[in-house]
């Protein structure tokens, strides 16, 4: 049997992951602003394709972040509401999904800054 005390580190880690996702959401929104500042006057086909690509990616990633934040909130709620049920496997699954998304977002940031600085 798992006690509420044993669940608290999982809850704390989830709340940290939630804040990390929130900060990435702000970061993506700032990238969108950078893109809107960069885009006017760009007429080459390569520039237009890149602008469309990053605009779409930012939109998609904001949706992904929103969905994961919602899933994480549900996981936190379940863990707090039912402390005697094992939550380590769903927690590990959530952590893995978030780490993959963060790696993708870091790569997107790198690619975006490379694109606008060319």
Q: What is the pLDDT of residue 44?
A: 95
- 55-111 pLDDT, tens digit per residue, is 999 999 999 999 999 999 988 888 778 766 665 667 788 899 999 999 999 999 999
Predicted local confidence at residue 10, as pLDDT:
80
Task: Return d(Cα 62, Cα 28) in angstroms, integer.
Answer: 7
Whether the pLDDT of residue 4 is over 60: the answer is no
| pLDDT tens-digit series, residues 24-64 | 999 999 999 999 999 999 999 999 999 999 999 999 999 99
Task: Provide the pLDDT for residue 17.
Answer: 94
The larger pLDDT score, comparing residue 72 to residue 9, is at 72
Task: Identify the residue whose tokens are 């990616």.
Answer: 57
Q: What domain range includes position 97?
A: 4-116
pLDDT for res 3: 56
d(CA 117, CA 101): 24
Query: For residue 78, what are its two tokens?
Result: 């379940």
The torsion region of residue 41 among left (phi > 0), alpha (psi -120 to 50) and beta comes to left
Structurally, the chain folds into a number of domains equal to 1
CB atoms under 10 Å from CB of 16, counted, come to 10
pTM: 0.87
CA distance to 75, 86, 115, per residue, from 51 (Å): 36, 45, 9
């Amino acid at each position: 049997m798992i006690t509420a005390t044993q669940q608290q580190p999982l809850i704390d880690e989830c709340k940290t992951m939630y804040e990390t996702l929130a900060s990435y959401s702000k970061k993506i929104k700032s990238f969108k602003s950078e893109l809107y500042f960069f885009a006017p006057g760009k007429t080459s086909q390569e520039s237009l394709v890149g602008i469309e690509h990053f605009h779409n990616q930012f939109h998609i990633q904001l949706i992904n972040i929103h969905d994961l934040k919602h899933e994480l909130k549900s996981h936190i709620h379940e863990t707090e509401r039912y402390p005697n049920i094992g939550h380590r496997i769903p927690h590990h699954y959530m952590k893995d999904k978030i780490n993959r998304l963060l790696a993708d977002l870091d790569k997107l940031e790198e690619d975006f800054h490379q694109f606008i600085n060319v």
